[in-house]
Amino acid sequence: MLRVIILMLTFVFPIGIHAEEVAPKNKTEETADVNNKVVIELKAQLQEMKIRNDLLENYQSSLLSTVHWSLSFMGGIALLLIGYGWWSNSKIHEKDKQQLKQEIATLLGEWEIKIKSDNADVINEQAKTIENRLIRVDEQVREVEKSFDNKLTRIDEQVREVEKSFDNKLEKIFSESKKLHEKLAMNVESMASQISILSVGQIHLEGSMLHVEERVWDIKGVTQNILLTQTQGLDAAIKLGSDYGYRVDTVLERIKETLEKLIKSKNPTARPYLVNRLKQSLNSLDSVYSVKVSEILGILETIRVEEVKSSS
């Protein structure tokens, strides 16, 4: 666009100058001629510019194609160079690795030889020191064993002495315990005999008291109380056992006499508690007294039992 404007200005200014120099003509004709010339020149310039633009486009397209081709060619060359460099570097690295491995292996072998030689000397020295220490420890262990054996013998002697003294003490304790046991047995027997004597005396005392009570009720003439007291005396005589059987006989005789008196009385009746208590005591007697017991039970059958009055 700038070129077009510049061309238009170049054409306009000379035309104006030429118009001033020409002799005076008709202004309308002159302007028409000038305009026609300008249009023709502009058309020619436009055509020329189109041709130039086409040439520029062709040149630019060819230039771009050459640039693309050159870039692709350079990229391919770069890839080839990179691949070749990688391949050569890998080969070089493998060689370097093998050389390093060989050097490391040789160094390790040398170090192993040195270490083995050094260790052999150290091991020999340590073995000697260990042997010396073992000898010392063995001597110390023997000394400890000797002292331990001596202590064990002393302890054994002390234990034997303690056992002897303990056996003597046990014998003394056993003999004393025997004596105490015999004394205790004698005391227990004496206490048992005393208890039996006391119990017999208590029963005798109870029987004598019941006999006195029986006499009192006999004096008062209360027959049923006499029978109750005689029944209690029969129980006391039964407690004394067979050694005092004569008391049972005497009590049975008195019970029989009392029952006969009760039958001959005006009101031959007895309380049910008294009858049951007397029967229970008679049934607890041995078969030795069966004759007298049967006689007393026969008399009891003839006696009328009082009826128990229910309290309303």
Q: What is the pLDDT of residue 22?
A: 42
Of 234, 215, 311, 312, the closest CA to residue 274 belongs to 234
> Is 214 domain-assigned?
yes
> Is 294 domain-assigned?
yes
> Is 241 domain-assigned?
yes
Number of Cβ within a 10 Å radius of residue 248: 22
> Is 158 domain-assigned?
no
> Is 98 domain-assigned?
no
Q: For residue 237, what are the domain limits?
A: 195-305
Cα distance between residue 123 and residue 120, in whole Å: 5
Of 38, 30, 31, 48, the closest CA to residue 12 belongs to 38
Question: How many domains is the chain partitioned into structurally?
Answer: 1
> Is 31 domain-assigned?
no
Cα distance between residue 46 and residue 7, in whole Å: 10
> Is 39 domain-assigned?
no
Model-wide pTM > 0.85 = no
10-residue stretch averages of pLDDT, the chain, 312 residues long: 50 44 57 83 87 85 84 86 80 76 84 77 79 84 82 85 83 82 78 65 66 78 82 82 66 86 80 85 84 85 72 46
Q: What is the pLDDT of residue 117?
A: 75
Using CA atoms, how far residue 178 sits from 163, 183, 187, 288, in Å, is 22, 8, 14, 46
> Is 281 domain-assigned?
yes
